[in-house]
Amino acid sequence: MAKEYDLVILGGGTGGYVAAIRAAQLGLTTAVVEKGKLGGTCLHKGCIPSKALLRSAEVFSVVKKSEEYGIMTGEVKLDFLKIQERKSKIVDQLYRGVQHLMKQGKIDIYEGIGRILGPSIFSPIPGTISVEMNDGSENEMLLPKNVIIATGSRPRTLPGLEIDGQYVLTSDEALHLEQVPQSIIIVGGGVIGIEWASMLCDFGADVTVLEYADRIIPTEDDDVSNEMKRLLKKKGIKIVTGAKVLPETLTRSETASISAEINGETTEFSAEKILVSVGRAGNVEGIGIENTDINVEKGFITTNSYYQTKESHIYAIGDCIGGLQLAHAASHEGITAVEHIKGENPASIDYSLVSKCIYSSPEAASVGYTEALAKEKGFEVKIGKFPFKAIGKALVYGESDGFVKIIADKATNDILGVHMIGPHVTDMISEAGLARVLDATPWEVAKTIHPHPTLSEAIGEAALAVDGIALHL
Ligand SMILES: Cc1cc2nc3c(=O)[nH]c(=O)nc-3n(C[C@H](O)[C@H](O)[C@H](O)COP(=O)(O)OP(=O)(O)OC[C@H]3O[C@@H](n4cnc5c(N)ncnc54)[C@H](O)[C@@H]3O)c2cc1C
């Protein structure tokens, strides 16, 4: 017998489980089908474990320079297994939290692989879900009025660059390292690559980043990307841009070696390990898309702005539709889809209002247009930039590199983009996000009296700098 639901969600990652909570709040009978663990990539392979490791790396590097703060310590040593243990404890605690939230919402969880069936004896339209249960019990049949596909993504590699888990890793394998490699080549200088580069360098590894584009974190503002490069190089990371990695040159013996073409010349790089971070592919295979009219373009499911696929009762959200591939984007897409199903008339998401964060040391964060994009879109811009070195709290904190940059429209005074690099900017970006949501002008941001001494004063000062009236520069 098929079990009937208002909504079945395929995938219990950040997108899927948050959508389920919202659906339960709105009174929809809801089930989640999850083949792995509730919480998905973000909780088990992404945001949380990587940030736990980054925090240990940060503590390690602060303790090593504790004398600067007048604190004398003995020899500072790493216990990497303990660091991994701490990471797992945090993940477990949050995992239990998600399980509790599912129970609280009376959301049914099916542990198994879900597939969408075409028209069947159960329904004349595609959308019945068959679940191959992880425990080997008989397949469950679920008959939902609506479906949300939230199957997420997996690491990509370069054709020919085979992931072996020993010499060549993705972030999935790197999260389980039992010791810090002496040296590592990171292929790809995007967000994940840069976070790992920063972390492993702080743990003491010799790190080389090979990036194909002409700059690292190429989707960020030029100034931020240049400052990130300068600061990572200052701490010893080697960064090679314009490097086309040649997978066929990979050799594995004592160490791993790979060549890259740089300015027409081939250079060989060797290290204990190679971490490949060249983007993430949508999980769109094996879920029954072929039984529907759903479109897939360049490996991602296409949807309208309410996340409906071509089958209007089947929605898709999160990493499997591409776009920003961020946890908070996935969950808000899920909420929008559920509210649309319920007929709540939700506003569609304006992606220029979604903040993006990089948790390396230094951190970087942004919301809205980069300077280049704003100009490309035809805006005449005015820019305010304020360095952390002129902020008392940054000096107190011991981290005064970086800046806040605000880009505004000369014609309307609207804030078009805010870009930050420096201490705790990932926590500070939400003020800029709110300013964008409320359509604030730099003047209004500056009128928000920022308490002293705080790092957030840099935002107030950058807002004043837009009109050339910064106070402390
Ligand atoms: C190293 C790393 C660090 C990251 N750091 C951040 C960060 O700091 N901040 C941030 O915002 N984002 C970060 N991300 C990205 C973030 O993890 C993703 O954007 C987010 O997890 C997407 O959520 P999702 O629900 O779309 O997919 P996922 O979290 O991938 O969840 C999809 C779920 O679907 C399940 N599934 C797939 N197919 C089926 C099937 N057929 N049947 C049943 N279940 C299925 C999977 O098992 C999985 O649990 C990071 C990613 C990585 C890899």
pLDDT of residue 113: 98
CA distances from 360 to 80, 189, 226 (A): 19, 12, 14
The minimum-distance atom of ligand 1 relative to the CA of 196 is 1
The residue to mutate among 43, 47, 111, 366, having the most atoms of ligand 1 within 8 angstroms of its beta carbon, is: 47
Task: From 427, 428, 377, 451, select the one nearest 407 (Cα to Cα).
Answer: 377
Q: Is 40 in the pocket of ligand 1 (CB under 6 A)?
A: yes
Q: Which residue has the tokens 């529907």?
A: 292
HEC secondary structure over 181-242: CCEEEEECCCHHHHHHHHHHHHCCCEEEEECCCCCCCCCCCHHHHHHHHHHHHHCCCEEECC
Strand partners, 108: 31
Same CATH fold, 157-278 and 3-154+281-351?
Answer: yes
The residue whose CA has the least distance to atom 19 of ligand 1 is 326
- CA–centroid distance, residue 369 to ligand 1 (Å): 25
- Do the beta carbons of residue 300 and residue 216 sit within 8 Å? no
In whole angstroms, give the CA distance from residue 438 to residue 432. 10
Closest among 32, 28, 33, 24 to 6, alpha carbons compared: 28
| Per-residue pLDDT of the chain in tens (473 residues, 90 and over written 9) | 789 999 999 999 999 999 999 999 999 999 999 999 999 999 999 999 999 999 999 999 999 999 999 999 999 999 999 999 999 999 999 999 999 999 999 999 999 999 999 998 888 999 999 999 999 999 999 999 999 999 999 999 999 999 999 999 999 999 999 999 999 999 999 999 999 999 999 999 999 999 999 999 999 999 999 999 999 999 999 999 999 999 999 999 989 999 999 999 999 999 999 999 999 999 999 999 999 999 999 999 999 999 999 999 999 999 999 999 999 999 999 999 999 999 999 999 999 999 999 999 999 999 999 999 999 999 999 999 999 999 999 999 999 999 999 999 999 999 999 999 999 999 999 999 999 999 999 999 999 999 999 999 999 999 999 999 999 98
Cα 193 to averaged position of ligand 1 atoms, centre (Å): 17
Q: Is the CB of 360 under 6 A from ligand 1?
A: no
CATH class of 362-466: alpha beta
Looking at residue 122, its pLDDT comes to 85
Q: How far is the CA of 319 from the centre of ligand 1 (A)?
A: 7
Asked if residues 227 and 403 have their Cβ atoms less than 8 Å apart, the reply is yes
Known catalytic residue: 452? Answer: yes
State if residue 333 touches ligand 1 by the CB under 6 angstroms criterion: no
Query: What pLDDT, on a 0 to 100 scale, did the predictor assign at position 121?
Result: 85
Is the minimum distance from the CB of 33 to ligand 1 under 6 angstroms?
yes
Q: Which of 332, 419, 450, 452 is catalytic?
A: 452
Residues 6+ apart with CB under 8 A from 262: 240, 242, 243, 244
Fold category of 3-154+281-351 in CATH: FAD/NAD(P)-binding domain (3.50.50)
Domain ranges of the chain: 3-154+281-351, 157-278, 362-466
- Rounded to 5°, the CA angle 118-321-223 comes to 175
Taking the alpha carbons at both ends of the chain, their separation in whole angstroms is 72
Q: Would the CB of 250 count as within 6 Å of ligand 1?
A: no
192 lines ligand 1 (CB under 6 A): yes
Could you say which architecture CATH assigns to the domain 157-278? 3-Layer(bba) Sandwich (3.50)
